[in-house]
Amino acid sequence: MSLRVITTEEDFIYNKIVSNIEEIKVRKGKVITIITEGDDKLKEYLDEIIYVPKTLDILSPIINTIQLSYLCSS
């Protein structure tokens, strides 16, 4: 089982995402995530990390789409 997650800076769903990641790790799942540079709080739970630069919220879908296309092609 593997889980791919996109997280941004701490927002109203950040704690829920952390809870979901912990649940996947308990079940021996692999977690691949796209996170903002400098967000080291999740590092201990993640197997693969793709960092994206911090940007305006309105631009983050563009940045994340580029990273997701990279992830899909590999």
pLDDT tens column, 53-69? 888 888 888 888 888 88
Residues 6 or more apart whose CB falls under 8 angstroms from that of 1 comprise 24, 27, 28, 29, 30
pLDDT tens column, 16-44? 888 888 888 899 888 888 888 887 777 88
- What pTM was estimated for this model as a whole? 0.70
Give the DSSP letter string of 8-26: -SS-TTHHHHHHHHHHHHH
- pLDDT of the residue at 5: 64
With 60 as the cut, is the pLDDT of residue 1 above it? no
